C-alpha cells in the first residue's frame, strides 16, 4: 500500500522569526503499513527540510521536522474509520475535497522513538505520497539523500514531546 496524506494541503502562518512558520491545522499522514502519524497544530517549522525551498508539498517536511527536533514522532492509535466515527477526521467546511483533523485526545496518541534513518525514510515515503504539486522522482531521491546530511540531528532531540501540551502555542514556541 502506498502512503497518503489524510488531511488537505498545509495551512501555515508566517511567524515574525525569519524563515519560521506555525502549523494552523493538524496534519495526518498514513504510512505504507497503515500507521497514522500526526503533525499537530501550533508546531513551528522552517517548512523545508534540506534546500531552502517550498516548491513541493510542505506537509512532508512537517512530520520530518518533528522527528528531527524531538527524535520522536506521534503515532495515532486509531485507524481512519475510527477517526471519522469519532468526528476527529471530517470534511472541511471550506472544501468538500479535503479532510480536516480536529485535535486528537492524548489517549489516542503515542509518542514513539524515531531514529534519523527511520524519519528520513519516512520523509522519502511522504514525498512519494505528496500530490500538491506532484513531486518529481528525481526531487524525491535528491531530497532523501539531502536529509541524510542533516548534521543538526546530532545536537537536537533534547526536548521530548509532551502529549499534555502539544496543541499549546506557548509550549511549541520553545
Q: Which three cell numbers stand for residue 9?
A: 494541503
Q: Write the pLDDT tens digit of every residue in 89-132.
A: 999 988 888 999 999 999 999 999 999 889 988 988 998 888 65
pTM above 0.85, yes or no: yes
Q: Write the pLDDT tens digit of every residue in 126-154.
A: 988 886 556 666 666 666 666 666 667 66
In the DSSP assignment, the letter for residue 92 is -
Locate cell 508539498: which residue?
57
Cross-strand partners of 13: 22
The DSSP-derived string for 109-153 is: EEEEE--HHHHHHHHHHHHHH-BTTBPPHHHHHHHHHHHTT-GGG
Amino acid at each position: 500500500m502506498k502512503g497518503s496524506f489524510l488531511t488537505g494541503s498545509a495551512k501555515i502562518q508566517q511567524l515574525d522569526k525569519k524563515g519560521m512558520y506555525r502549523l494552523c491545522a493538524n496534519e495526518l499522514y498514513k504510512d505504507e503499513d497503515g500507521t497514522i502519524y500526526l503533525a499537530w497544530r501550533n508546531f513551528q517549522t522552517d517548512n523545508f527540510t534540506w534546500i531552502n525551498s517550498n516548491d513541493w508539498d510542505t506537509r512532508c517536511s512537517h512530520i520530518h521536522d518533528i522527528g528531527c527536533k524531538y527524535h520522536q514522532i506521534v503515532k495515532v492509535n486509531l485507524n481512519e474509520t475510527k477517526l471519522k466515527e469519532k468526528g476527529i477526521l471530517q470534511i472541511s467546511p471550506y472544501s468538500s475535497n479535503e479532510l480536516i483533523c480536529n485535535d486528537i485526545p492524548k489517549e489516542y496518541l503515542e509518542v514513539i522513538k524515531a531514529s534519523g534513518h527511520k524519519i528520513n525514510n519516512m520523509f522519502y515515503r511522504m514525498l512519494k505520497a505528496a500530490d500538491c504539486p506532484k513531486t518529481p522522482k528525481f526531487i524525491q531521491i535528491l531530497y532523501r539523500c539531502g536529509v541524510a546530511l542533516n548534521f543538526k540531528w546530532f545536537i537536537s532531540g533534547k526536548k521530548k514531546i509532551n502529549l499534555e501540551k502539544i496543541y499549546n502555542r506557548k509550549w511549541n514556541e520553545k
